[in-house]
Amino acid sequence: MNEELNQEFVDYSDKGLKEIVDIFQTLLEGDDVQQLYKNAEVLKACFYKNLRKEKIAAGYQAPVVDGTAGPEAQSAAPAGEAGEGGSEGVSVNPFAELERGFKELYGRYRAIRAKNTAEMEKQREENYTVKLGLIEELKALLEAKEDLKETFPAFRDIQNRWRAVGPVPQGKVKDLYDTYQHYVEMFYDYVKINKEFRDLDFKKNLEAKTELCEKAEALANEENVVEAFRMLQKYHEEWKELGPVDKENRESIWDRFRAATSVVNQRHQAYFESMKGNQQENLEAKTALCEKVEALLGQEIKDSGTWNRLSKEIEEIQKEWRTIGFASKKDNQKIYDRFRKACNDFFAKKKAFYSGYKDQMQENLEKKIALCEEAEALSTSEAWKETSEKLIELQKRWKEIGPVSRKKSDQVWARFRAACDAFFEKRDKSGNAAAGNPYGENLTKKRALIKEVEAFTPGEDREETVAALKAFQARWNEIGFVPFREKEKVQKAFKEAMDAQYDRLRGESRPARRGGESVKDPVRAEREKLVQEYRQKEQEITTWSNNMGFFAKSKNAEALLADMNRQIDEAKAELAALEARIKEFDQKHNADEQ
């Protein structure tokens, strides 16, 4: 760990949370304040970055950004702890104690830094007072006009002590420096220093300024542009403290130093210009993400499935947000606030939905209990036909009522089913099974429709034929359930009859054979592929619709019915999309043929 603390820049991203806290603790307890300053903010950034990762890995979906909850903090809960109905609860953060400990260390660091800053400001004021005293000594030296052998050493002593004094308040630097330089120049002008001492002083100043030029020129190869610029400012301060050189070298040495300065300044400016470009791109990317979340927020959402799907989209958007760098300083907080507000509003809206959703499920439960009571009142009736019709009507009304909570769903369904079964079992034992049984009537209707499809002869107009086949399918869908044991058999017969008609329809437009093999028309083949997909999807909807009547016998009836309804809705949307593609295909290729 000591080797890490002695490094000027350390990458702590691979450290664990406890290791980062220990390193921070060691820095705080050490004597090297500069190392503490250089590493504190890096440690803070790595700590919260790793804290966010470990929270997500632990199942907590509330990332932390610089010690504050990020856009995802709203309504988030660990995986597997979602409340009833899919809503999300508020998580308990197991990392709170570790984060609190880090914040305490960071607070100590801030206190140390504030104290040191105050001490530095105090020291700068003291340095300013000392330098004012040195100027007064220099003035007194000029006024004394003593022997040169005594005056010049005193002058050099003043210069050495001036350089040894540390920095002064920034606002007082220029006036202090100008005053000092004024009296230095007066010393060279008015004190009758002999040429030997003057040339020696010029030579030493030239050597010192040449060394500064070399240091400044070396900064052109410094990879860290910001650090190079900072060092250049330090060299400029040192340059100001040095005395003049002889006239012959005065202009050339300054030109050399200025040229080195120009190179560093240009690199620094180019670096920040590139940063501005990246920051603008980051701002545009983050603005686009804000618009995405706001668009999702503006949607009217009426079911939990859509809420869950959109919540996952929001989570993916938040992940993408974290991969984008900072915007400019003036825009970064604004765009983050906009993004956070959009996310917060989305999850608040979701929470409100599930709050109302629970109320709706309670209302649905009360409606289903009422149907149970009606069915139980009818279960003892012996008016077979009339009661059968009433119970079937109750079953239809049951299906129209939305879901109830899971823990009540099986219970209330079992009660309703028991009442219905009690009547139908008694009716069947009485020998009146046919009375009021619509399933048998539906089977007769479907068998008749199959014969009608088999006997159908397509006309010359292709569009009319397609419309007729669609009408057959619509009529089939409108007919209700059939007895379970006949379901697959009658469904298969209808499918075969419809397949035969579609095969005849396709056969009318098949290309002629050449050499015993059909010549494939790629355009027609593409259309047939779309039609086949359309028919398959249509058949799936029909099958699912028929199967829904039998899921009621399963243990998780309500959940299965809800899932089946969702699948049917999605399939209908896909069916509409396929139909649109077929129409678009026909319009395009019909136009090409004309």
Summarize pLDDT for 46-61 with one digit per residue, the tens: 888 888 888 887 776 5
pLDDT band at 210 (very low <50, low <70, confident <90, very high): very high
Residues 591 and 476: their CA atoms lie apart, in Å, by: 35
Predicted confidence at residue 517, as pLDDT, reads: 43
Task: Please answer whether residues 565 and 541 qualify as being in contact, where contact means their C-beta atoms are separated by less than 8 angstroms.
Answer: no
Give 412-443 as a DSSP string: HHHHHHHHHHHHHHHHHHTT-TTTT-HHHHHH
Give 188-229 as a DSSP string: HHHS---HHHHHHHHHHHHHHHHHHHHHHHHGGG-S-HHHHH
Sign of the alpha-carbon torsion through 583, 588, 592, 594:
positive
Predicted confidence at residue 166, as pLDDT, reads: 85
Predicted confidence at residue 437, as pLDDT, reads: 57
Strand, helix or coil for residue 39 = helix
How large is the C-alpha radius of gyration of the chain?
A: 43
Q: Please indicate whether residue 580 or residue 393 has the higher confidence score (pLDDT).
A: 393
pLDDT band at 252 (very low <50, low <70, confident <90, very high): very high
Percent of the chain with pLDDT over 70: 77
Nearest to 88 by CA among 469, 373, 348: 348
Q: Is the pLDDT of residue 522 over 60?
A: no
For residue 489, give the amino acid letter.
K
Q: What are residue 458's phi and psi, to 5 degrees? A: -60, 145
* Per-residue pLDDT tens over the stretch 285-336: 889 989 888 888 888 877 777 888 888 888 899 888 888 877 777 788 888 8
Q: Is the pLDDT of residue 396 over 50?
A: yes
Task: Please answer whether residues 213 and 207 qualify as being in contact, where contact means their C-beta atoms are separated by less than 8 angstroms.
Answer: no
* Per-residue pLDDT tens over the stretch 52-96: 888 887 776 554 444 444 444 433 334 333 333 344 444 456 677
Nearest to 543 by CA among 472, 577, 470, 492: 492
Averaged confidence pLDDT in the chain: 77
Residue ranges per structural domain of the chain: 385-593
* Per-residue pLDDT tens over the stretch 218-231: 988 988 888 888 89
Predicted confidence at residue 85, as pLDDT, reads: 39
Give 134-201 as a DSSP string: HHHHHHHHHHH---HHHHHHHHHHHHHHHHHS----GGGHHHHHHHHHHHHHHHHHHS---HHHHHHH
Neighbours of 55 (CB within 10 A): 21
SS3 content of the chain, % helix, strand, coil (to 5): 80, 0, 20
- Mapped to the 3 state alphabet, what secondary structure does 515-558 carry? CCEECCCHHHHHHHHHHHHHHHHHHHHHHHHHHHHHHCCCCCHH
Task: Among 271-280, 363-372, 506-515, name the one with the lowest average pLDDT.
Answer: 506-515
Residues 51 and 97: their CA atoms lie apart, in Å, by: 12
Buried b (16+ CB within 10 A) or exposed e, 382-412: eebeebbebbbebbeebeebebbbeebbbeb
Q: Is the pLDDT of residue 534 over 60?
A: yes
Strand, helix or coil for residue 66 = coil
Beta strands in 261-419, from DSSP E residues, in sequence order: none
Predicted confidence at residue 308, as pLDDT, reads: 82
Predicted confidence at residue 81, as pLDDT, reads: 38
Q: Is the pLDDT of residue 45 over 50?
A: yes
Query: Beta strands 513-514 and 517-518: pairing type?
Result: antiparallel
